[in-house]
Amino acid sequence: MSAPDIILEADDVVVRFPGPGAGPFGLRRRHVQAVNGVSLQVRRGETIGIVGESGSGKSTLGRALLGLEPIAAGHVVLDGLAVSEGRRADVRALRRRTAMVFQDPANSLNPRRTVGDTLAEVLRVHGKAERGRTDRRVGELLAMVGLDPALAGRRPAALSGGQCQRVGIARALAVEPRLVIADECVAALDVSIQGQVINLFLDLKEQIGLTLIFIAHDLAIVRRLCDRVAVMYLGRIVEEGPTERVFRQPRHPYTMALIASIPEIDPDLALPLAPMVGEPPSPLEPPPGCAFHPRCVFAQETCRSGPPPVLRRADDHGWACILEPGALAAPLSDLPPLPVPTEREAFP
Ligand SMILES: Nc1ncnc2c1ncn2[C@@H]1O[C@H](COP(=O)(O)OP(=O)(O)O)[C@@H](O)[C@H]1O
Ligand SMILES: [Mg+2]
């Protein structure tokens, strides 16, 4: 049994997609192992960030945790419900207790409906407002996300991107969810609007004890918002721990490279120099050994040929690298500049 303050427990979760060029009867069909043995625990009221380059499996993991993507192996238990078993009653209960906020605020709202109708519909379907009190609750939800309740009469086209994203969050909150997963929900917004949405999440955490899984490729935002962070690389979590600890003392060369690429990183933070080279390999043909080794400037023979490293732990900090921290601090020069990860959604 898990501890009572654990709301979500994922154990060795695998999600596969059929790869391109599949033959008849699936012969020689290769699979994309989008999520490749992820274990994760989320505590009630905590905000956990999931970071990593595009294609690392963040969105697939998020969907799998909410039962929106079939799981090939492993287990997910959310708020006492076995997500991975897919029992219909459990899935229904799950829908009432969880919500997802997506990247594209405008397109995730029905353009023909007013904001008020969209929210009222969610309240009705989930039985969250008594008859005659729906309008009032819609107003409350809008106020909760910092919008004027008078906006209830507008359609999405009459709102700004930031306002649409707030409506998206209000719609998620209408369910009174125990857990929200936000997938790149500020990536499409201007920096100042991003800040407002982040502050909104910080307020909700304080006011209603919101549990949030915040998927993002922007590490600076994650650092500001999240209590803990998990770093994904090719479908695996390669480092995980309290945000400040991971940012100040990253143990995995991939995390180091990601952090070193944040433009506004604290200038007096003594980070080991850890550039990485090249692009992520194809998940259709993951490299043997440590999947990061072709891009890792510290890689040794064991990293190329040994088994994929398992998470090593010190207190609540875990990292999947066999090298000792001292081996990662060698001075390096004449290496190409780090490519800044960009988010390109292969499957919108
Ligand atoms: N529906 C799908 N069918 C086939 N492959 C997919 C599908 N969704 C995602 N993938 C693949 O799974 C991997 C992880 O994708 P994704 O979870 O979207 O990563 P991220 O959110 O970190 O960018 C990628 O290689 C992607 O191409
Ligand atoms: Mg994604």
CA of 186 to the centre of ligand 2 (A): 12
Position 106 confidence tier, pLDDT thresholds 50, 70, 90: confident
139 lines ligand 1 (CB under 6 A): no
The pLDDT value recorded for residue 26 is: 53
3 lines ligand 1 (CB under 6 A): no
The pLDDT value recorded for residue 23 is: 56
Nearest bound ligand to the CA of residue 57: 1
55 lines ligand 1 (CB under 6 A): yes
The pLDDT value recorded for residue 332 is: 40
CA of 138 to the centre of ligand 1 (A): 35
Contact 305, 295 (CB under 8 A): no
For residue 189, give the nearest of 158, 168, 211, 213 by alpha carbon.
168
| Ligand 1 atom at shortest distance from the alpha carbon of 18 | 4
For residue 311, give the nearest of 235, 262, 206, 238 by alpha carbon.
238
The pLDDT value recorded for residue 334 is: 37
CA of 34 to the centre of ligand 1 (A): 6
Nearest CA to ligand 1 atom 25: 55
Percent over 90 (pLDDT), the chain: 54
253 lines ligand 1 (CB under 6 A): no
| Better-predicted residue by pLDDT, 154 or 272 | 154
68 lines ligand 1 (CB under 6 A): no
| Ligand 1 atom at shortest distance from the alpha carbon of 235 | 14
Q: What are phi and psi of 274, to 5 degrees?
A: -140, 75
For residue 234, give the nearest of 250, 252, 209 by alpha carbon.
252
Position 27 confidence tier, pLDDT thresholds 50, 70, 90: low
What pLDDT digit, counting tens, does each position of 162-214 carry?
899 899 999 998 988 989 999 999 887 888 888 888 998 998 899 889 999 99
Least confident of 1-5, 41-45, 278-282, 343-347: 343-347
34 lines ligand 1 (CB under 6 A): yes
Considering the four listed CATH numbers 3.50.50.60, 3.40.50.300, 3.30.10.20, 3.40.190.10, the one that applies to the domain covering 3-18+30-346 is: 3.40.50.300
**pLDDT for 37 beyond 70:** yes
Strand-strand pairing, 212-215 and 179-183: parallel
**pLDDT for 335 beyond 60:** no
Nearest CA to ligand 1 atom 12: 34
The pLDDT value recorded for residue 3 is: 64
Mean pLDDT of the chain: 85
Position 338 confidence tier, pLDDT thresholds 50, 70, 90: very low
**pLDDT for 343 beyond 60:** no
Least confident of 40-44, 105-109, 208-212, 306-310: 105-109
> What is the C-alpha separation between 39 and 275, in angstroms, rounded?
27
What pLDDT digit, counting tens, does each position of 73-100 carry?
999 999 989 988 878 888 888 888 899 9
What pLDDT digit, counting tens, does each position of 214-269 carry?
999 889 899 999 999 999 999 999 999 999 999 988 999 999 888 877 765 555 55
Nearest CA to ligand 1 atom 10: 34
pTM above 0.85, yes or no: yes
The pLDDT value recorded for residue 344 is: 40
**pLDDT for 156 beyond 90:** yes
234 lines ligand 1 (CB under 6 A): no
Q: What is the domain partition of the chain in residue ranges? A: 3-18+30-346
Nearest bound ligand to the CA of residue 344: 1
The pair of three-digit structure tokens given for residue 89, joined into one six-digit string: 């009653």
Rounded mean pLDDT, 102-113:
85
The pLDDT value recorded for residue 211 is: 96
**pLDDT for 333 beyond 80:** no
Nearest CA to ligand 1 atom 8: 347
**pLDDT for 341 beyond 70:** no
Nearest bound ligand to the CA of residue 35: 1
Rounded mean pLDDT, 34-59:
95
| Ligand 1 atom at shortest distance from the alpha carbon of 346 | 27
What pLDDT digit, counting tens, does each position of 257-315 carry?
888 777 655 555 555 455 576 777 888 888 899 999 998 888 899 999 989 999 999 99
For residue 171, give the nearest of 224, 109, 215 by alpha carbon.
109
56 lines ligand 1 (CB under 6 A): yes
Spell out the SS3 assignment of the chain.
Answer: CCCCCEEEEEEEEEEEEECCCCCHHHCCCCEEEEEEEEEEEEECCCEEEEECCCCCCHHHHHHHHCCCCCCCEEEEEECCEEHHHCCHHHHHHHHHHEEEECCCCCCCCCCCCCHHHHHHHHHHHCCCCCCCCHHHHHHHHHHHCCCCHHHHHCCHHHCCHHHHHHHHHHHHHHCCCCEEEEECCCCCCCHHHHHHHHHHHHHHHHHHCCCEEEECCCHHHHHHHCCEEEEEECCEEEEEEEHHHHHHCCCCHHHHHHHHCCCCCCCCCCCCCCCECCCCCCCCCCCCCCCCHHHECCCCHHHHHCCCCCCEEECCEEECCCCCHHHHCCCCCCCCCCCCCCCCCCCC
Q: Maximum distance among all alpha carbons in the chain?
A: 69
CA of 107 to the centre of ligand 1 (A): 20
270 lines ligand 1 (CB under 6 A): no
